[in-house]
Structure 1
Amino acid sequence: MAAYVRRLEPLAGSRASALVERLLDPVPTDDPNEPLNWSRLRKNINFALVCFYALIVYTIIDIGTVVYGQLHEELGFSWEELNQSFAVSTAGLAIGAIMFIPFAFKFGRRPVYLLSIVIMVGTTIWQARMRTVGDLFGFNIVSGLAGSITETICAMTIADLFFVHQRGSRTNILTIMIIAGTYLAPVAAGYSAASQGWRWIWWWSSILAGVTLFLFAFCYEETVYTPMVRGDIPDDIDGIEQDRKSKTPGADTLHLEQSNTLADIPLKSYWQRMSLFTTASGGSNALFIHIYRPFIILFTFPGVAFVALVYGSLLAWLAILLNVQAIYFTLPPYNFSSSGVGLLNIPTCIGSILGGFFGGQLSDYNIQWLARRNGGVYEPEMRLWLALPAILITPAGYFMFGFSVSQASYTNLLG
């Protein structure tokens, strides 16, 4: 049963005619070390770090498109080679998560985040010193593999920290940061390349990736929760728990927004929270399970397959748009500079932010309203209703982009 809204009888002495409480999913334990029970500030710090990580990763992956013209002129890379390098990066994004995410389940989120950032620092330095086509392809495949976990591990962290009815708004915030890295960072990169040279967009990226590595090393807490074994629980916790239930109406099923925790369970120290590995139970079999289980879910749950198909298609079109505009708007009759190509991303960024609010905060409000109409029960498919307008808006956007590029394609064909 997922999170839903329920109407309760008024408490004794209450002036309200009814009291509305939200049942939480997942149901939090009484352990203050469980991320669901963390303070709002502690959750938001971790979440802010995740958003900053996503911003940097998508910046590194996407800013290269604005300097295609400079790479073509200075290093002699053909348009076909530049196009293929972006395809190699996209291939890395497609398969990297399959390789790395099982380790996030087995050893925790921290080591996977840190490994990804370390690789990003190395690849940006590599790209800043690029000389050959081999460097171009090598950087793109490695950065694509390392950055691919962003598509999954950030959502996993949101699920670790927040309840179901909070995830839409947090996902929207994360999406805005991804949009900023994908669309706004190329704008800044375009001006940087025009004034400082194309290599400096990668030196700035390496600096930002280094800052991200420092912040994650000393500030990001592990969000994987390992429940305490029975022997670790104080002897009197059962009595405390029963006393708490006796004072809370319907406590066996009701869990308030601010869940109660037991003071008898000690908080982990700073160094315990910063440990590099949080190993889950099970041997190598547990690691292998997380490799093939997503495919079982994908092909046995039609709802998951539908969402994966839609999301994958949108990402594919995003990659095509970024690559096509980087090439065709550099050529006659447009002849855009690197800064001009970067500015092409601003309208897309504005539309994405508006769409993110539509599918984020508004989605959270909508599922709660639909849950009330459904007798208080929330079903995951309720989020899909707000996707209907995109069926018309998305193809219209693709058509408008294609129409704007057609003039450049026709001119170059004649030339």
Structure 2
Amino acid sequence: MKDAEMKIESVGSDATVEQLESALSSTPKDAADQYTPLDWALWRKYYIVALVSTFTLMAQMGSALVNPSFVTIASDLHVTVEEASYSITIYMLFAGVFPLFIAPFANVYGRRPLYLFFTILSIVGFIVAAVSPSWGGLIAGRVISAIGCSIPLGIGAATICDLFPQGQRGLPMGIFAWATTNGPHIAPLAGGYISQAYGWRWCNWISAIIEGGLLLLAIFTLPETLVSDNPDGEAKRSAMQRMLYFGKIVDRRIQLRDFFLPLRLVKYAAVTLPCIMYMVNLSYGSPLFAVTGSFISASVYHFDLGQTGLFLGLPLTVGCVLGELSAGWVSDLIINTYARYHGGYRKAEARLYLLPLVLLTAIGTATFGYCIEERKPWIQAAVCMAVSGFGTQIATTVTYTYCCDSYPSQSSDVSVVINLLKSLFAFNVGFYALPTADQLGFTAGFTIFAAISAAVTIPVFILIIYGEKIRRTQGNPSSSASNSQ
């Protein structure tokens, strides 16, 4: 431990988080510290990333499998198509808000118990939605399933930060971010054909079945990743004992203020500016198409349910895949190249060099609106959606990695704030997207949405130059409630 203290002293009292992490990266660990997820085999880390990302993917797919079926749901339950779209927006709202109230438990009792318990809750919710004969029952089931599926969305990024140091987070965080963004895009590909062949209720049944399979995998293969404050005792437990252990990982009391502590991060520019960029670009690069696509497909292109699913899902999925191929590993390359020329110091702002690509969201959204109003061939509209998806994926990966790099000890809270702001903003899209397009036209309406996306992206460029200085001036949040690393 003396070596570690000397390394900390060597970087100075005003050292940033990245400098401290860099200084400690080569420090030998005491024997009692050997049990840490940072030291696990790479294959094991990426298995956990894959499993958590699959949970996240299914959480998002569960919200969107019914997207192509809004017209059918409206007819079956005697509501309007706009009201039918609320089944996805209400899901987004609860999936975003609920992690705020569960994050303190994740930081004390660990990640594993929450993944298990809330997956069971999600299964119950999807079953309720599948069997409900009324509109109210469907909404109740969607709320329960959203709460159950909120956990991977809320603590998934923190789980990845448990496993990887700063210079290695870009790729795994990109995988997680891709799952976060693309669940709603992949879902309609299957949802349209499921609804067409078996009815819209089976979209909820299938979600329940897949969540059940993931639950079994998690029970037997998902270990705890939160670092214990008693590493000596943790190391003495067998692998089976650690999997069966349910209790405090960090020995401290949960207080009422802990449930609101994540919100303190809103005052930090390195969190707030990227989060605003992310919530707007994601909302106008994904949910906007989801809540308007069923109407557009039926009224403009006269697609059936299967074709509607393909139209809603395939372009955005392709765009986001290409976006992630240009994001996660590239941001790792950029930040590690920066470190090579700066004495091993990994500056978080180096990841923001990808920001210009985020502006593709605005370009794709504006041109999509033009294609719809002018009744252009569907392939042109699909290309515009893919361009928007590309920019949206860049925004997602950049936001998660940069914010977690800036405040790694608060990565669990960072993840909660990102998900909360995104969900609160996206929740409202379903209430005004179609009315705006109806009153102003798709060209003007979608151009306004695109302009807002671009406007909130530009201020983040300031962080490239002044971000480190701003973070140093504002200081680091207290880590008393966030022990994610």
Letter in 2 for 1:124: F
Larger Rg: 1
Cα separation, 1, equivalents of 2:30 and 2:126: 42
2:175 corresponds to: 173
Displacement of 1:105: 0.9
Does residue 1:280 correspond to 2:250, yes or no?
yes
Q: Equivalent of 2:363, from 375, 386, 396? A: 396
Displacement of 1:136: 2.5
Letter in 1 for 2:282: L
| Distance change (3 Å), C-alpha of 1:160 and 1:366 | same
2:25 corresponds to: 24
**How many residues are aligned here?**
361
Q: Equivalent of 1:333, from 300, 303, 321? A: 300
Cα separation, 2, equivalents of 1:270 and 1:227: 20
Cα separation, 2, equivalents of 1:95 and 1:268: 36
- The TM-score, its normalising length taken from structure 2, stands at 0.68
Please list, as runs of the form range in 1=range in 2, the aligned pairs for 1:91-130 lying within 5 A after superposition: 91-130=93-132
Cα separation, 1, equivalents of 2:231 and 2:369: 59
Deviations 1:46-85 (A, max 9, x none): 2222122112111111111111122123332211311333
Contact 2:224–2:243 (CA under 8 A) maintained in structure 1: yes
Cα separation, 2, equivalents of 1:176 and 1:111: 24
Contact 2:111–2:226 (CA under 8 A) maintained in structure 1: yes
Please list, as runs of the form range in 1=range in 2, the aligned pairs for 1:362-373 lying within 5 A after superposition: 362-373=330-341
Letter in 1 for 2:324: G
The alignment-based identity, stated in percent, is: 25
Q: Equivalent of 1:291, from 251, 259, 266? A: 259
Cα separation, 2, equivalents of 1:95 and 1:340: 33
Give 3-state SS (helix, strand or coil) of 2:346's partner: coil
Displacement of 1:266: 4.1
Give 3-state SS (helix, strand or coil) of 2:215's partner: helix
Bigger mean CA offset, 121-130 vs 36-45: 36-45
Cα separation, 1, equivalents of 2:205 and 2:148: 18
Cα separation, 2, equivalents of 1:141 and 1:312: 21
Q: Equivalent of 2:60, from 49, 58, 61? A: 58
2:240 corresponds to: 270
Cα separation, 2, equivalents of 1:269 and 1:197: 44
Does residue 1:361 correspond to 2:361, yes or no?
no
Which structure exhibits the higher relative contact order, with contacts defined as CA atoms closer than 8 Å and separated by 6 or more residues? 1
Query: What is the CA RMSD across the aligned residues, in angstroms?
Result: 2.8
Cα separation, 2, equivalents of 1:73 and 1:303: 46
Displacement of 1:22: 10
Deviations 1:313-351 (A, max 9, x none): 123222222111123322x23222221221122111111
Cα separation, 1, equivalents of 2:357 and 2:60: 27
Give 3-state SS (helix, strand or coil) of 1:106's partner: coil
Please list, as runs of the form range in 1=range in 2, the aligned pairs for 1:230-269 lying within 5 A after superposition: 266=236, 268-269=238-239
Contact 1:125–1:206 (CA under 8 A) maintained in structure 2: yes
Displacement of 1:412: 8.3
Contact 2:52–2:152 (CA under 8 A) maintained in structure 1: no
Displacement of 1:306: 0.7
Q: Equivalent of 1:224, from 205, 223, 226? A: 226
Which has the larger share of helix?
2
2:390 corresponds to: none
Give 3-state SS (helix, strand or coil) of 2:226's partner: coil
Cα separation, 1, equivalents of 2:170 and 2:231: 33
Listed as ranges, the gaps of 5+ residues in structure 1 are 5-20, 234-264
Contact 1:32–1:267 (CA under 8 A) maintained in structure 2: no
| Distance change (3 Å), C-alpha of 1:217 and 1:147 | same
Listed as ranges, the gaps of 5+ residues in structure 2 are 1-15, 376-433, 442-485
Contact 1:371–1:377 (CA under 8 A) maintained in structure 2: yes
Contact 2:223–2:242 (CA under 8 A) maintained in structure 1: no
